[in-house]
Chain A
Amino acid sequence: QLQMVESGEGLVKPGGSLRLSCTASGFTFRDNYMTWIRQAPGKGLEWVAHISSSNKSAYYADSVRGRFAISRDNAKKIVYLQMNSLRGEDTAVYYCARVYVVGGYMDVWGKGATVIVS
């Protein structure tokens, strides 16, 4: 069945780094774009970044550009989010999802990973 499982969550000090991983199963990972979306406590959804199926193109929200990096390993079916220079406002639940850029939607979501910057 289609599934995403995030890992790597944790508590980190301001200025620190953390890497989230998302392992996919149930579909042909290498054929699909992937994305990270976050949700701060009590707040709405915020798109963070997405990456092409081939790993050649990546796009970022202004709020994280230059600090975060999205990447993927198609052999392992994992998408990563490397987060550097973390700030308090990066505290959130981070979801990975399969994204169809042509249609503009995310159809399969993980359960989320909690990142606390404090």
Chain B
Amino acid sequence: QSALTQPPSVSGSPGQSVTISCTGTNSDIGAYNRVSWYQQSPGTAPKLIIYEVRNRPSGVPDRFSGAKSGNTASLTISGLQAEDEADYYCSSYTISNTFVFGGGTKVTVL
């Protein structure tokens, strides 16, 4: 049950786009389209922002988008806003009927 690999941090200016990668294996990301992304601000619970690779729950702005290629998933934030500054985690279901998270990526808006 090794964690998925995410960059520790990414940054961008308001209005720019940033992309966070999430690398797994054939046993998790590569096995299913069961990749999700969560946004967490300090002191709060995580919030689901992308599910099943590319779907957005109601109320999540369309500047958040997800994709997957092979064993790597990605989250792109287009038109970065100050309120997007937070930690972001990817997650995948695995062939062992378990879940695995990435180590998290801190997004900083310059």
Q: Do A105 and B36 contact each other (CB < 8 Å), given the known contacts A44-B89, A45-B104, A59-B98?
A: yes
A residues near B46, Cβ cutoff 8 Å: 37, 45, 95, 106, 109
- The A/B interface has a contact count, at CB < 8 Å, of 74
Roughly how many angstroms separate A30 CA and B97 CA in the complex, as a whole number? 20
Whether B51 lies near A47 (C-beta < 8 A) is: no
Roughly how many angstroms separate A95 CA and B101 CA in the complex, as a whole number? 14
Q: How many chain A residues have a CB neighbour from B under 8 Å?
A: 26
Q: Do A112 and B45 contact each other (CB < 8 Å), given the known contacts A103-B52, A107-B57?
A: yes
Within 8 A of A (CB), among B59-108: 89, 91-93, 96-104
Whether B91 lies near A61 (C-beta < 8 A) is: no
Interface residues in chain B, defined as those with a beta carbon under 8 Å from any beta carbon in chain A: 1, 3, 32, 34-36, 38, 40, 44-48, 51-52, 57, 89, 91-93, 96-104
- Contact sample, A vs B, 24 pairs, CB 8 Å cutoff: A35-B99, A44-B3, A45-B38, A45-B91, A47-B101, A50-B99, A59-B98, A61-B1, A63-B1, A103-B51, A103-B52, A104-B32, A104-B35, A104-B92, A104-B93, A105-B51, A105-B91, A106-B91, A107-B48, A107-B51, A109-B46, A109-B47, A111-B45, A112-B45
Interface residues in chain A, defined as those with a beta carbon under 8 Å from any beta carbon in chain B: 35, 37, 44-47, 50, 59-63, 95, 99-107, 109-112
